[in-house]
A and B are shown apart, each in its own frame.
Chain A
Amino acid sequence: MIKQDISKYKHIWVFIEYEGDEVARVSFELLSKARELAKDLGCEVHAFTVGEKVSQFADQVFKYGAKKFYIIEDPILKDYITEPYRDAITYLIDKYKPEIVLIGATTLGRDLAGTIATTLKTGLTADTTGLDIDPKTKNLLMTRPTFGGNLMATIFCPDNRPQMSTSRPGVYKAVEAPVKGEIIREKYAFDKSKYTKRIIEKIIEEGEKVNLGFYDIIVSGGFGMGSKENFKLVQELAEVLGGTWAASRKAVQAGWAPQTRQVGQTGQTVHPKIYIACGISGAIQHQAGMKSSEIIIAINKDPDAPIFEIATYGIVGDVLEVLPKMIELFKKKLGKA
């Protein structure tokens, strides 16, 4: 392992992920979390991204407290392709030497982070759900679930910089803290002959993109719902409660709900005030995405379903009988009848 002079590295960098004109919410969540860490370190929070046109995101990243926004704009970066993105970003990191680099643990973020860390020969901790600064050493402490959420591990990277982490969306709250920031434009001399991979077609899945982390009430349906048709009950209850609806992996695999609404280890992590699990058995992988909800209400036919182990309130019964009555009750109580 190559020992580095780590004293040259300063400030926290947050990768700004976007799709089209829209910045991914996880980027704002990470900017907000990075401000807390920066306080402990006595440093600044900076944002960075690359693409064909990315300077229009500047106002948004400054609104979330980034003092600088490092960008590389080039037509070759129009679509996300691993290799040119990696080369442009490692160039920025090499030049400006941030102490910490945070990237959202999305499909794009996880694709990108591994190749950047390998190129930089530094440590990377994947899919973290907790970030803290060690008060003594000032190292970043990165906590992540392993073994399907059965075990938590706190990882640190003492001798290499930057300390890199991909962080799960929905873990931190996005809180605005506007500052007057500065855009720093860089150029990278791409060797175009090197990039031989290309995107032929992109299919954006039906249905809007949903950020489940945004809602304080989530009604979630599982395989016990029985059909896509029955999922309307889940949707209706969510609407009555002024929340949103979600699904377990099994229900998504059955085609009853889009992947964009999946909660769990391979879906989104949520922690609403109220989570209503309808016909969800509650496998450990599902629990990994929702067990930090404040109140969990579980409805399931099987009294031995694991979901009851973590439910605040459990109801043993057929969801198809319970849900219509529940919708009726809340309509009445919430004055929506």
Chain B
Amino acid sequence: MHFLVFIKQVPDAAQVRVDYETGTLIREGVPAIINPYDKHAIEAAVRLKKEFGGKVSVICMGPPMAEEALKEAMSMGADNAYLLSDRVFAGSDTLATSYALWAGAKKIIQEQGPVDIFFAGKQAIDGDTAQTGPGIATRFDVPLITYVVEIKKVDPEARKIQVVRLIESGQETVEAPLPCFLTVEEELNTLSYAPLPYLIRAARTPVILLNSKNTEIDVSQCGLKNSPTKVKKAFTPPKRERGEMLEGDSIDAILNTLYEKIEPVLKEMGKVQ
């Protein structure tokens, strides 16, 4: 079977801080990582490869430094890694990104054969849109299954898959034919440690570069200029002022102070007379 995983290299959002003086993000020293949800997508694909045989391909769109993310994906067990990198992609919104990744994936299919299961993380932690995966699935016209937390059954003969996904009110089990497109939650699996043979292969296997020259891609659908959505402005949210730390000789004393402070609000709400 052939598994294709879409990954993104992101700044570790948990370490990004705001400079309130300048109103910008402080990104210096913030490590670039594989989007955490995508790692679980790689893990899932590698486990299925171990069970059913086949290979795992990985694609990442981004600047040249994203090669690092692809090397890491190979150390996790991916067999082929493709970097889709070109200036024409700069500033792409989710519609243009899903177009470019779709074009890149078609090139991988030409080289590596048809895909049985497409994987992506449920969303990236920098943009948080959760749109690129569904966009690519739509362009391939394959069934889309988002928020996957468990892969119950894969039947390569009957060409069917059963997965559990989150819904607003709980969970549901869905059956879909192959090929299909899964976007996954972190709960799907626990990441394994990279075994030595994978590390060696990752070091030896070059990342394959895809760009607008060697891929059939319509550049009039790429980049900032050809993205339907534009950023009007970016700003840091107003900082909430640090309030007051309540102190006193005892918890009772502190709580009495608190009560005095909020009594007017409770009155206004009709909670107290």
Residues of A at the B interface (CB closer than 8 Å) are: 1, 19, 24, 80, 82-83, 86, 106-108, 110-111, 113-115, 117-119, 121-127, 141, 145-160, 196-205, 209, 216-217, 241-242, 260, 265, 273-274, 283-284, 291, 294-297, 303, 308-317, 321-322, 325-326, 329-330, 333-335
Additional A-B contact list (9), CB under 8 Å, known A24-B168, A197-B180: A82-B146, A107-B146, A146-B126, A197-B177, A202-B170, A295-B262, A295-B265, A314-B244, A315-B245
- 25 contacts across the A-B interface (CB closer than 8 A): A83-B143, A107-B168, A110-B146, A111-B146, A118-B135, A145-B237, A151-B18, A151-B25, A152-B236, A153-B231, A154-B233, A154-B234, A155-B230, A155-B231, A160-B228, A196-B143, A197-B175, A198-B174, A202-B173, A203-B172, A204-B169, A204-B170, A297-B258, A312-B243, A315-B245
CB contacts (< 8 Å) of A316 on chain B: these are: 245
Q: B160 → chain A, closest Cβ, in Å?
A: 9
CB-CB under 8 A from A291, the residues of chain B are 240
Q: Are A107 and B147 in contact (CB under 8 A)?
A: yes
Pair A119/B229 contact, Cβ less than 8 Å: no
- Tell me the nearest residue of chain A to B220, going by C-beta: A1
**B130–chain A nearest beta-carbon distance, Å:** 5
The interface residues of chain B lying within 8 Å CB-to-CB of A123 are 93, 95, 227-229
B137 to A241, Cβ gap below 8 A? no
Q: When chains A and B are docked, how far (Å) is the Cα of A31 from the Cα of B44?
A: 40
Chain A hits for B14, CB < 8 A: 148, 283-284
Q: Flag the segment in B51-59, B195-203, B248-256 that touches A.
A: B248-256
Tell me, in angstroms, the Cα distance from A316 to B255 when the chains sit together: 12
Determine whether the beta carbon of A314 is less than 8 Å from that of B240.
no
* Number of chain B interface residues as a range: 35 or more
A326 B243 Cβ-Cβ under 8 A: no
Chain B positions within 8 Å of A204 at CB level: 169-170
Contacts A150-B18, A200-B174, A309-B242 given; does A127 touch B262 at CB 8 Å = no
Contact mask for chain B residues 126-153; partner A; CB cutoff 8 A; 1 contact, 0 none: 1111111111011100011111000000
B94, B98, B127, B172: the one contacting A201 at CB < 8 Å is B172
* A312, B242: Cα distance in complex, Å: 7
Q: A158-B230, A205-B170 are in contact. Are A110 and B130 (CB under 8 A)?
A: yes
Q: Contact between A155 and B229 (Cβ–Cβ < 8 Å)? A: yes
A282 CA to B7 CA, complexed, in Å: 29
